Structure 1
Amino acid sequence: MRTAVSASMSLFLAALLVTACADEAPTGTPPSTAATSTAGLSGSVSPSGSAGLFSATDIAWLQLTVAMNERLLPVLDMVPSRTTDPAWRTFAARLGTAHRADLSTARRLLAESGAPATNPHEGHDMPGMVTEQELTTLRSVTGVAFQRLADQHLRAHLRQAVRIATAEQRNGVYPATTALATEVVRAGNAELTRLDRLTP
């Protein structure tokens, strides 16, 4: 069972997903408005960056992106030892390379923002995150059984990543962060299409 998410993060996730679905949500919200809309939710400030200000939304999205990618990589890393399917191996290798690059970028942007280096989501099992119990189950199966379980986790991760990145696109303010979100949306949708072709 997934552990409870902190109240502040639950509110933040709700705010992200509501704004992601709002047709009227403007792109490039002024820093003061974006920071106010998530004030107190991420526990982060909006320090100066090289190209302007990071809003609370930018920082919270980056922190969540780091946490989600860190949880997914162990799944991708076990693919070569759990299945001999060449298509699955190729898919996992490509997705792993892309997620490591995104993780590196997100960590760099967090450092630029001045946000704490600690992971505020340590111990939280949120949508799109693979739990330790689920990793244990994945390690116990091989072949098609592994592929079916991995498909479920990868699909959940990619869908959630696209949803919150879409919210960041619409409500974030720091250019490099919203650019990363745009790439996450593009790549995530493309990988979901590829995953459809792999489903056994």
Structure 2
Amino acid sequence: MRINRKIPLIIATGALALLTACGGNGESMAGHDGMGSTEPAATTPSAQPSPTFNDADVMFAQMMIPHHEQAVEMADLALMRASDAEIEELAAKIKSAQDPEIQTMKGWLTEWGKPVPSGGVGHDMPGIMSEEDMKKLEAAKGKAFDKLFAQLMIAHHKGAIEMGRTEQADGSNPKAKELAKRIETTQQAEVAQLQKILDRL
């Protein structure tokens, strides 16, 4: 009988403890609500400069920066060497589009706390020109230059399109994916234009 008396007492005590805990939790939650409102405020500022990104976003920016830099270098050569007016016009367009994109991607990497590539290109990148290709382009003149520029830039652009598609499939950063889509669309149109130029040269 003594055991039977103790059981209700234990249950009652447990229930009281549970109610107290719930009340305590309610008060804690109220306190945490106040803290909760400051926690996002504390984490948001640090999150804003470093928005959601993944390894694919980082790789896209780190690879596309030197890829773009080489395209700008090729465009600069065309602005000095091209004999075809359309080649020259397209080179100016490539340079004006890709220079700002380079700066944008460098800004992202800085915000993400990731290394910004500097100097040289990795030859394992899609469509990248070898040093030999670049030397041939530098040495070419007149119509020979125009043809070689068109051929090399088509290959270069196709590589960028491939990289853009990979970013759209695997990336998580909305701005990086948006840029990747823009690169794909713009450079597909330029490939078509370059092919038409090549066909008539």
Alignment of structure 1 residues 137-156 onto 2, 5 Å:
137-156=136-155
Q: Does 1:65 align with 2:64?
A: yes
Give the corresponding residue for 1:95: 94
Distance 1:122 1:86 in 2: 30
Counterpart code for 2:158 = R
- 1 CA distance for matches of 2:47 and 2:143? 49
Superposition map of 1:169-184 within 5 A: 169-184=168-183
Q: 1:191 to 1:116 in 2, by over 3 A?
A: same
Show structure 1 runs of 4+ deviating over 4 A.
none
Structure showing greater radius of gyration is 2
Give the count of matched residue pairs: 153
- Higher helix residue share: 2
Q: CA deviation at 1:176?
A: 1.0
CA deviations over 1:107-157 (Å, ceiling 9, x no partner): 1111111101244x8452133112222221112111111111111210111
Mapped to 1, the partners of 2:197 and 2:149 lie a distance apart of 11
CA distance in 2 between partners of 1:184 and 1:132 (Å):
24
Say which SS state the counterpart of residue 52 (structure 1) adopts: coil
Q: Distance in 2 between matches of 1:77 and 1:88?
A: 11
Could you tell me how far apart the structure 1 residues matched to 2:153 and 2:117 are?
25
Q: Is the Cα–Cα contact under 8 Å of residues 66 and 106 in structure 1 kept in the other structure? A: yes
SS state at 1:115 partner: coil
Unaligned runs of at least 5 residues, structure 1: 1-46
Query: With structure 2 as the length reference, what TM-score do the two structures score?
Result: 0.70
Tell me which amino acid in the other structure corresponds to 2:144. Answer: A
Q: Deviations over 1:11-46 (max 9, x none)?
A: xxxxxxxxxxxxxxxxxxxxxxxxxxxxxxxxxxxx
User: What's the counterpart of residue 192 of structure 1?
Assistant: 191
Deviation (angstroms), 1:197:
2.1
Q: How does 1:27-176 map to 2 (within 5 A)?
A: 50=49, 52-119=51-118, 122=120, 124-126=122-124, 127-176=126-175
Q: Give the Å deviation of 1:185.
A: 0.9
- Cross-structure match for 2:41: none
Identical-pair percentage: 24
Q: Quick check: 2:66–2:117 contact (8 Å CA) kept in 1?
A: no
CA distance in 1, matches of 2:54, 2:47: 9
CA distance in 2, matches of 1:150, 1:88: 8
The alignment's TM-score, normalised by the length of structure 1, stands at 0.70
**Does structure 2 conserve the Cα–Cα contact (< 8 Å) formed by 1:72 and 1:130?**
no
Contact kept in structure 2, 1:53 and 1:174, CA below 8 Å: yes
